[in-house]
Structure 1
């Protein structure tokens, strides 16, 4: 007997506030685009690499927000034309693109910063200070706007990281401008640009790595698949769990599928409900597909150590580790075996 269940309610959070998120991102985009144009002109006049690097970073900020807004619209489209999850992963593509642009810019400004350390050009410190202070004000406002959006979305977090790094960059640039203005030491400008490059590298790598986990179908970072398998195997009547897969469709949208074997004669429907409840209340996985079958009589037995072992292969090609029920002595003592009483969603 098999009990196949596809449960795909859309409980993940950031869809509810998508309109507010778009408004916050749009406001930040307008601020950044206006200031960026001014900064490029002043950076060229002042001969400041730190200012020009900030302007370049602000260009990627603007691109990041545009990408985020486009991705949010694409991701909101309903499933069709073979895209059974819709286009929700467009947001992860956006986050990946943001991370890559940060890394590329960091490489450029590192090379240019080192060149200027060796041969420092003349820098107008006062221009840098005034522009830097204005940049701090603009980025504080933009950071505040984006902090009000739903940062559990990797897409929004990507745009937020761009803006936050730009705020740090302006602080470094302003300090460098003060040093150049008061002491005439032009290398401070190049050092500030290198500090900005280091911050860009850190944020860019974090985004690329997080988006890469989603693309490679990894489990959410906060979920331990082995522990989830053990918890399901510890449920009442469950004998074995295999073909357990946990992945993220997009930020905040984890999905799970598994093949669960229960004792001959057990209620497959009750076992599935108990497993769904465990997954919902434990790791918070709402989107589950569980196939529940009866284990064949005599297919499992306890070995000399008291551990349950499979004698007969249930599936032709099982994937990943297999999680068995508890040891015989633990089962006799009732340790860990539970029917997992829980409330229905929304209660």
Structure 2
């Protein structure tokens, strides 16, 4: 294969990764990462806006009732609803930013704005859980009088509002981590209202006012679980980790098992934004192998078996790599990519 042929195989990322009109853009026509459920961005924003209206209105009412009833559970629910509203606003802003085209130094656009939103949602859940845990313990030790009947009625109304809001958000595209973050907020608030309703019923029927604080602690556990999940998932994306369900070593072994590939190294798999995995790798093939055909075959394999459509593959003949003059101090038997990033996958026993 000539040097010109190889120049074509060292494909720049924009030829495939960002939807330019080339013959290799098979993944961009139908993967629809932004809206995997076939829901348009406008519809997503409309459902989120409806949920925001429901939550904002009820939150204002609940704050007043919580103060009158002296119920920490109600006040904590109202505070949680405030974070619900903020999470939805963040999701709406992130969706607007993510829709902007790539330009200038932002070569992926602002798609990760939604990951920032999800991380903010997770952190607010964790911080709010800490505050509520402190207040609940304090009230367990020194419980104030609680108007159980008022708590029960308000909590039942809150359940209805949160079910409606959760339904609205579930109609949007939850493959977006920002939308999922808002959904987790709403879902936790729903559980909180159920706990508050039970606490109100106990206070009303038995006079056991500590039930209000105990219900709050149960909700705190749920908030920590949801918040940790969001922070962990968004953190993986920011740290360029491979998607949680994908093992890079397995992918590398699968690629090197495709004849006439002899070696795969500098294999990187990361997530651009929710549901958009990307992969780059340096692939070496046998001297008689067709670099162009191998690249096309590997792209199809990655799309079919792993759902990865954003790929940048540099394909070279192994013989040419061996003929390259190494830098001083390098092993002349294997001069190319002497400092390969990550494991090296070869035919036969794998070096990783």
Query: Equivalent of 1:313, from 335, 348, 352?
Result: 335
The corresponding residue for 2:291 is 268
Query: Equivalent of 1:286, from 309, 322, 333?
Result: 309
Structure 1 runs of 4+ off > 4 angstroms? Answer: 297-300
1:311 shift after superposition:
4.4
CA–CA distance in 2 between the matches of 1:12 and 1:260? 28
Give the alignment's Cα RMSD to 1 decimal: 1.7
1:297 shift after superposition:
6.7
CA–CA distance in 1 between the matches of 2:342 and 2:298? 19
The corresponding residue for 1:334 is none
1:4 shift after superposition:
2.0
1:296 shift after superposition:
1.7
Measured against aligned partners, the alpha-carbon deviations of 1:211-235 in whole angstroms (never above 9, x if no partner) come to 0000000011111100110011001
Query: What SS is found at the alignment partner of 2:64?
Result: helix
Residue 94 (structure 1) aligned with residue 117 (structure 2):
yes
The corresponding residue for 2:236 is 213
Contact 2:321 2:335 in 1 (8 A): no
CA–CA distance in 2 between the matches of 1:26 and 1:287? 32
Measured against aligned partners, the alpha-carbon deviations of 1:274-306 in whole angstroms (never above 9, x if no partner) come to 110110001100000000000027959xxxxxx
CA–CA distance in 1 between the matches of 2:321 and 2:199? 76
Query: What SS is found at the alignment partner of 1:166?
Result: helix
The corresponding residue for 1:234 is 257
Contact 1:12 1:252 in 2 (8 A): no
Contact 1:244 1:320 in 2 (8 A): yes
1:314 shift after superposition:
1.8
The corresponding residue for 1:172 is 195
CA–CA distance in 2 between the matches of 1:201 and 1:120? 24
The corresponding residue for 2:25 is none
Q: 1:294 to 1:125 in 2, by over 3 A?
A: same
The corresponding residue for 1:53 is 76
Unaligned regions of 5+ residues in structure 1, if any? Answer: 301-309, 328-347
How many pairs align? Answer: 319
CA–CA distance in 2 between the matches of 1:313 and 1:173? 67
CA–CA distance in 1 between the matches of 2:344 and 2:303? 21
User: Equivalent residues in 2 for 1:189-200 (5 A)?
Assistant: 189-200=212-223
Contact 1:33 1:62 in 2 (8 A): yes
User: Equivalent residues in 2 for 1:63-102 (5 A)?
Assistant: 63-102=86-125
Q: 1:50 to 1:229 in 2, by over 3 A?
A: same
The corresponding residue for 1:305 is none
The corresponding residue for 1:339 is none
Residue 4 (structure 1) aligned with residue 10 (structure 2):
yes
The corresponding residue for 1:151 is 174
Unaligned regions of 5+ residues in structure 2, if any? Answer: 20-27, 324-331
Measured against aligned partners, the alpha-carbon deviations of 1:17-46 in whole angstroms (never above 9, x if no partner) come to 211111110110000000000000000000
Residue 20 (structure 1) aligned with residue 26 (structure 2):
no
TM-score between the two structures when normalised by the length of structure 1 = 0.89
Contact 1:12 1:253 in 2 (8 A): no
Contact 2:73 2:216 in 1 (8 A): yes
The corresponding residue for 1:184 is 207
